[in-house]
Amino acid sequence: MSGKNLKKCVLMKTAKQMGLGVCPECYKVNMMEVRRQRCSRCSNLFFQRKPNSLQYTLAWTIAAFISFIPANIYPIMIVYSLGIPEASTILSGIGTFIEYGLYPMAVIIFTASIIVPVIKIVGLLFLVFKVKAGLRLTPAKHTKLYHVLEFLGPWSMLDVFVVALMVAVVELGFVSTVEAGPAINYFTLTVIFTMIAAISFDPRLLWDENNKTDCDL
């Protein structure tokens, strides 16, 4: 390795390469003398990286994908009109909004119920694959992707809130009532699982992989 490349490698060293770790409670940087270090400020026990981060992220993401399938197959809402039930899935509900000309509502529901969960699931799988395979892309971009996925998490609950609101408001006895269908449970699980998967992922692994690749050349 040339002197120029050596200098670049030294400048790119991470805290982990220098034997440092940050406490997740008080954010103090500590020297990692053992694998599970006690913080010198708050005495909290912590690891340099989240233990089994990729395994947990992958498991929760797969669970979210499995829950997402029945969430789109089973009815998410059942409307009773004069005692006659009419089941509505997520896609058929979007079609109803379009049929009545409520295009903004259809776009919002489609985005929150279909696009956002798919982006989160695919994005989390991509991040896990990136860390395992060491794809040659800038970690800064992947870190931004991770923060976007983390931000999108709660917004998927919009569809659940819409159904809950309709169940609470549309209550006209025998004339017209609305009740939540079985898909609402699966969709809620999908949102919860993707949120846990995003929390389980340690974005610092992206930088570890990049520095290992660059400095070992």
Instruction: Please list the residues that pair with 81 across neighbouring strands.
Output: 84, 176
Q: Which class in CATH covers the domain with range 52-212?
A: mainly alpha
CA dihedral 54→57→63→67, nearest 10 degrees, is: -150
Q: What is the pLDDT of residues 105-142, one digit of tens each?
A: 788 778 888 888 888 899 889 888 888 876 655 666 76
Q: CA 56, 60, 61, 62 torsion: positive or negative?
A: positive
* Average predicted confidence (pLDDT) for the chain: 75
Spans of all domains in the chain: 1-48, 52-212
**Is pLDDT above 60 for 191?**
yes
CB 113 within 8 A of CB 186: no
Asked if residue 206 lies in contact with residue 141, where contact means CB atoms within 8 angstroms, the answer is: no
Span 22-55, pLDDT tens digits: 887 787 888 887 777 788 788 788 777 888 888 9
The larger pLDDT score, comparing residue 150 to residue 119, is at: 119
Q: For tokens 């070992």, name the residue.
A: 216
pLDDT of residue 5: 47
Share of the chain above pLDDT 90, in %: 8
